[in-house]
Amino acid sequence: MIPVATLEDVQIRWLEIRQHGFVLHGFLLYTGSDQYFPEYIGGDGLTDLDMWSGDRCGIFLLHDAPAEWAEYAREHDHIWWRTFGAGGAGVDDQLLDAPVLHVGHGETLTPRQMLPSTNRGLAKMQVVAVLHYFGLAPTDHPCLILFRDLGDAKFWHIKLDDMLGIDIPRLRLALKQWFAGPTFNRLLKV
């Protein structure tokens, strides 16, 4: 999983991303109104999906990377860390994520956690921009778009409408089964 803010972030770094050796790339698209997708991804979803998609598939999420993800990515020398984290984070970003305010019980808050969330990663305009890029309707989410190369006309559009509204444990199970299933495995081998 590779959290990004915009399609342009991927386009700008595409040559670098391709060098990581993925045989398949994709976008997992959802908006804040696609019930339970944002909640799941904002919790354990990033690391779950990162494990399930494996090292042969890089999937982009239009989602702000939480501090826990940045730490996970740094510890595992993840492509996100090498492409968007360590090299892409400026001093201001590092300062925003430094724990500074002690709130009791051994917990701390970062300046970023105290700022109001802009939900930039869940902005519907960015989701629509990706859907438009692939020639899909602005209503074609939640979905997974898989492709070999960002410049190719061929891609696979997997609708995830049947996963809307199911609670987080069942959503997690449904996504886990999809990534362990025959369709995903077949696409990795094509």
Residue 84 lies in a domain: no
Residue 152 lies in a domain: yes
Residue 108 lies in a domain: no
Q: How many CB atoms lie within 10 A of CB 168?
A: 14
Residue 52 lies in a domain: yes
Of the given ranges (35-44, 154-163, 165-174), which has the lowest mean pLDDT? 35-44
Distance CA 13, CA 189 (A): 25
* Count of domains forming the chain: 1
Residue 158 lies in a domain: yes
What secondary structure letter does DSSP report for 5? S
Residue 26 lies in a domain: yes
Residue 28 lies in a domain: yes
CATH number at residue 143: 3.40.30
Task: Please state the rounded mean pLDDT for residues 168-173.
Answer: 96
Q: 76 or 131: which carries more pLDDT confidence?
A: 131
Residue 83 lies in a domain: no
Could you list the residue range(s) of the whole structural domain that residue 129 is in?
Answer: 2-64+120-189
Contact 138, 125 (CB under 8 A): no
- pLDDT per position as a tens digit, 33-88: 898 999 998 888 988 999 999 989 999 998 877 778 888 888 888 888 888 776 54
Maximum average pLDDT range among 14-18, 78-82, 140-144: 140-144
Confidence category of residue 131, pLDDT binned at 50, 70, 90: very high
